[in-house]
Amino acid sequence: MGHARPNLIAVHDLFASVIRWGSPNGITSQSKNLTFLWSLTYYIALPLGAIVVGLILWSAIRYREKPGQERIPRQVQYHIPLEALYTVVPIVLVVVLFVFVYRAENRIDNVSKDPALVVRVDAFQWGWKFTYPTGYQVIGSVATEPSINSPDLPVLTLPAGETVQVNLFSDDVNHSFYVPAFLFKRDAIQGINNSFDVNIDPGVAGQRFIGECTQFCGLYHPYMRFWLQVMPKAQFGTWLATHHGITTNASAAVAPLPKHGGRTK
Ligand SMILES: [Cu+2]
């Protein structure tokens, strides 16, 4: 039964995706808050929608005009209990959603006073600079990196299973740091330190995820990509201790100007 397992995984993934209402699976503890919020909204909206549509259909069928019964129905000016109900129910829903949004935002934006690692990320026209506490730097410039999916993209290596704080800066115009698997992005704005924490799920250690700039920042914006390499916590210390100086991708060819000013293959 060698094929049973992959099928089970596929079924499990499909089921998990359905109960999340299509939300991608976030890889940080912060992203779980967002997925919960997303799913909660659906679990509230769907029964409510079903009740509203059901009542419309029921009353349209139940009180339709039958042949031989042509008459004006009894005219009602107001119905206090009904009006109170459809005023109170939406207010309760908005309050409930507000409370959950507030809680989720607080957890996602929470910045630890005692993170295990602080990494500085500088976005610039056009590329990324990652600086570690040891002084080790990765500088990936798209002026020397023409391909958006190249394995030579700059690599941001982060440990799983502990709190990582990212201090985000911009050297020039507005950029935005986005790792889709984090279900999170944050703007990089000149003169402002935007800090956020991520606690990456140990289950994805060893995997790579794509990151990109999502704020249109000029000609080479579509090339502003990077890899996020997740490393087991135990390995990360050794890795950092053996990396020094500055790593660049300057060996790559000089990028040609994009022909249509947009995304190329
Ligand atoms: Cu950018």
Let me know: does 55 contact 86? Beta carbons within 8 Å: no
Per-residue DSSP letter, 144:
G
- State residue 251's pLDDT score: 42
- State residue 259's pLDDT score: 47
Domain assignment of residue 262, yes or no: no
Cα 208 to middle of ligand 1, angstroms: 21
Let me know: does 249 contact 232? Beta carbons within 8 Å: no
Domain assignment of residue 265, yes or no: no
44 and 154 co-located in one domain: no
- State residue 75's pLDDT score: 86
Cα 246 to middle of ligand 1, angstroms: 21
Cα 183 to middle of ligand 1, angstroms: 18
Cα 75 to middle of ligand 1, angstroms: 62
139 and 231 co-located in one domain: yes
- State residue 15's pLDDT score: 74
- State residue 74's pLDDT score: 82
99 and 148 co-located in one domain: no
- Low-confidence stretches of the chain (pLDDT beneath 70): 1-6, 143-151, 249-265
Cα 220 to middle of ligand 1, angstroms: 8
The residues, any chain, with a CB within 8 Å of residue 46's CB and separated by 6 or more, are none
Quote the domain boundaries for residue 10.
4-109
100 and 195 co-located in one domain: no
Cα 122 to middle of ligand 1, angstroms: 10
What pTM value is reported for the model? 0.79
What is the arrangement of strands in the sheet containing 175-179, beginning at the earlier edge strand? 155-159, 225-231, 208-213, 175-179, 184-188
126 and 241 co-located in one domain: yes
Beta bridge partners of 16: none
Domain containing 41 — which CATH number? 1.10.287.90
Cα 210 to middle of ligand 1, angstroms: 15
Q: What is the tally of structural domains in the chain?
A: 2
65 and 183 co-located in one domain: no
- State residue 109's pLDDT score: 94
Domain containing 149 — which CATH number? 2.60.40.420
